[in-house]
Amino acid sequence: MFPTFLILGGYGNAGRPIADLLLKESHAEIIISGRNLNRAENITKALNNKYPDNRVRALQVDAKDPDQLKKALKGANMVIVASSTVAFTKTVAMAAIESGLDYMDIQLSKEKIKILQSLEDKIIKAGLCFITDGGYHPGIPAALVRYAATRFDIIHEAVVGAIMNINWQGYQFSDETIKEFTDELKGGAPLVYKDDEWAKAKWGGMFDTIKMDFGDPYGKNDLFPIFLEEMRNLPVKFPELKKTGFYIGGMDWFSNWISFPLATFWFQIFPKSEASWLSNITSWGMKKFSKPPFYTRIKLESKGISSGKPFEYNIILTHPDGYMFTAIPVVACLNQYIDGKINKPGLFTQGGIVEPTRFIRDIERMGIQLEEKILA
């Protein structure tokens, strides 16, 4: 029996390529779902024309309606949350638990993590596998560190940075999607790892920036810290690790130096503010000032000891399409889930549960460019 995946937001910017790649990579069946049945049916028709055996069907589902959700989930093996529905995390998660379904999401949200952690006992008791923080950031950084660690006897430093310039004008976004960009800056400063502990960054990270060289033609970029839950336990797993974390930058000048710093500053002073005007400014700036060439690029810089000698290892991952960069790691993770390699009860992050070597090789096979550099 091959699994059936119900994708909430299956016709969206990330949901559609996830569905497409799953059909290409496996014999799974897919349910494209969301509030707009017409869009779901259009994507379903296109995918069934592309792949044999009519493995895709459409379903109208509203994530905030628990009864409708539970009815929709019947017959599926896993729900994949690819929609901007962080506000309904508990509703979706509880529907999955009560329906006996596994779960995966691709959202970055502190509040989502708290909700899922509060349900962890129920998840384990039900014998379900919940995977959160799928995609590329979150999703790839911790896996990159774990992959790099296989090159060392002892790993001392492992810092991951990302730059992205996405063609925001080429995508449709809901108001909820844009709101999630700015809402993630709520809840206090990001954590940075220093002096053997995770500590709050200064002024939302404005004084904890780093520079990272992404090579020609990208050059050196100023990067700002973002705490990813998948990174939290890395110093526990690798006790000699003294420096780690995830940093991001490389967007258009307006986002880098005006809208995001402004949002960070605002939420430091008014952490509970809704500030819809910030979402509007952020959305306008991303669409107005993003210019080609478009790219998404992640780099890991690591140092340690190998064969008794100092050793440095760098790896860069690149893809021109940010949403394919999201979909490919998700499907690489699901390939391991389908095989039963990571299908176990509990709550996990994608970056923490995948077998890292296979994961890295699979994302490269599926189209993410990989460059490695060893500095012995």
- pLDDT of res. 276: 72
100 vs 111, more confident: 100
- When pLDDT is cut at 50, 70 and 90, the band that residue 87 belongs to is confident
Enumerate the domain spans of the chain.
4-135+324-357, 141-322+359-375
- pLDDT of res. 124: 98
- pLDDT score of 84 more than 80: no
Query: Mean pLDDT score of the chain, rounded to an integer?
Result: 89
- pLDDT score of 282 more than 60: yes
40-51 confidence digits (pLDDT tens)? 999 999 999 999
- pLDDT of res. 224: 87
- pLDDT of res. 171: 61
Q: Which of 17-31, 150-164, 266-280 has the lowest mean pLDDT?
A: 266-280
> Which among 154, 107, 117, 186 is positioned nearest to 307, based on CA atoms?
154
Q: How many CB atoms lie within 10 A of CB 160?
A: 29
- The proportion of the chain whose per-residue pLDDT surpasses 70, expressed as a percent, equals 88
- pLDDT of res. 155: 97
127-180 confidence digits (pLDDT tens)? 999 999 999 999 999 999 999 999 999 999 999 999 987 766 666 655 555 555
- pLDDT of res. 307: 93
Report the CATH architecture of 4-135+324-357: 3-Layer(aba) Sandwich (3.40)
Q: Which of 74-83, 182-191, 243-252 tops mean pLDDT?
A: 74-83
Residue 58 is classified by DSSP as E
For the residues 197-204, what does the mean pLDDT come to?
81
For the residues 186-205, what does the mean pLDDT come to?
78
- When pLDDT is cut at 50, 70 and 90, the band that residue 362 belongs to is very high
Do the beta carbons of residue 92 and residue 81 sit within 8 Å? Answer: yes
CA distance 333 to 102: 14
Q: Which of 95-104, 275-284, 308-317, 336-345 has the lowest mean pLDDT?
A: 275-284
Report the CATH architecture of 141-322+359-375: 2-Layer Sandwich (3.30)
- pLDDT of res. 271: 65
- When pLDDT is cut at 50, 70 and 90, the band that residue 60 belongs to is very high
- pLDDT score of 243 more than 90: yes
Instruction: List, in order, residues 6 or more apart from 239 with CB less than 8 Å away.
Output: none
- pLDDT of res. 289: 72
Q: Which of 30-34, 80-84, 322-326 tops mean pLDDT?
A: 30-34
Global pTM?
0.91
Do the beta carbons of residue 41 and residue 115 sit within 8 Å? Answer: no
Question: What are the DSSP calls for 75-130, one per residue?
Answer: T-SEEEE-SS-GGGHHHHHHHHHHHT-EEEE----HHHHHHHHHTHHHHHHTT-EE
Cα 166 → chain centroid: 16
CA distance 315 to 311: 14
252 vs 2, more confident: 2
- pLDDT score of 290 more than 80: no
- When pLDDT is cut at 50, 70 and 90, the band that residue 218 belongs to is confident
- pLDDT of res. 353: 98
185 vs 69, more confident: 69
